Structure 1
């Protein structure tokens, strides 16, 4: 992957981990105003996950990079996002697999995993590039969690 400079968000933590990954996935946006995006099509998504915290685990890790890859890449690579019905829905506009909602969903999956860790690191940003010219940044609301 080519080195990318991502927008950053200030946070009060000592450590910041960034994991870059890419995955190929197809989707369609079922909304009436989706235009061409209503047709099934694919992207090679480029994602950057930013996690921050103050404590390292017994291995000296904030989070093991491979755990983040399993949560995102291994779940979504070479799949049709719309078929991940536990995460996305063709009937609920708040769960259509748009780039914005995919980024938010990635945050939710990662933060749920982090919440089970003793040191409780925080996912502070998801950067998700859908095309060479289009990307979304998702950050949790003030207070550190989605929906706060």
Structure 2
């Protein structure tokens, strides 16, 4: 894992959890403007997930680190992102597996899981590195809007 200092987002919560993970995946961007990215290619994505909240769960966790890893790594590692039709598609730019959209979708997946927890933590930031020199930071809109 790359040792990295991540940009932080200010928030009013007492606890902040950060989980680093990675997954290897292929994708292509179905747009005539994507240049070489329109061809299928792969990356080793490095992800930092930031979760915040005021209350711990019945185990004393904000959220268990292993649960966050399962949500992302187990789902996407060694896959074709475009093949996850429930998340990505060729029909609209908001569904293309660009780094920006992947970061947003990772946040949405994590937040759906967090919504089921009794302590109600929030995913406040996704840092997604696609290459050693390129990354995206995604933060949900104020008020908890997770839509595109």
| Shared fold per TM-score greater than 0.5 | yes
Aligned alpha-carbon RMSD (Å) = 1.1
- The normalised TM-score by structure 1 is 0.97
Return the alpha-carbon distance in structure 1 between the equivalents of residues 11 and 144 of structure 2.
10
Return the alpha-carbon distance in structure 2 between the equivalents of residues 94 and 11 of structure 1.
27
- The normalised TM-score by structure 2 is 0.97
Matched ranges for 1:37-76 at <5 A = 37-76=37-76
The answer for unaligned runs of 5 or more in structure 1 is none
**1:144 deviation in Å?**
2.4
Corresponding residue of 2:132 = 132
**1:145 deviation in Å?**
2.7
Return the alpha-carbon distance in structure 1 between the equivalents of residues 58 and 68 of structure 2.
18
> Which runs of structure 1 show a deviation greater than 6 angstroms over 4 or more consecutive aligned residues?
none
The answer for unaligned runs of 5 or more in structure 2 is none
Return the alpha-carbon distance in structure 1 between the equivalents of residues 145 and 16 of structure 2.
17
**1:59 deviation in Å?**
0.9
Aligned residues: 148
Corresponding residue of 1:10 = 10
SS at match of 1:126: strand
Corresponding residue of 1:95 = 95
Return the alpha-carbon distance in structure 2 between the equivalents of residues 123 and 81 of structure 1.
21
SS at match of 1:113: helix
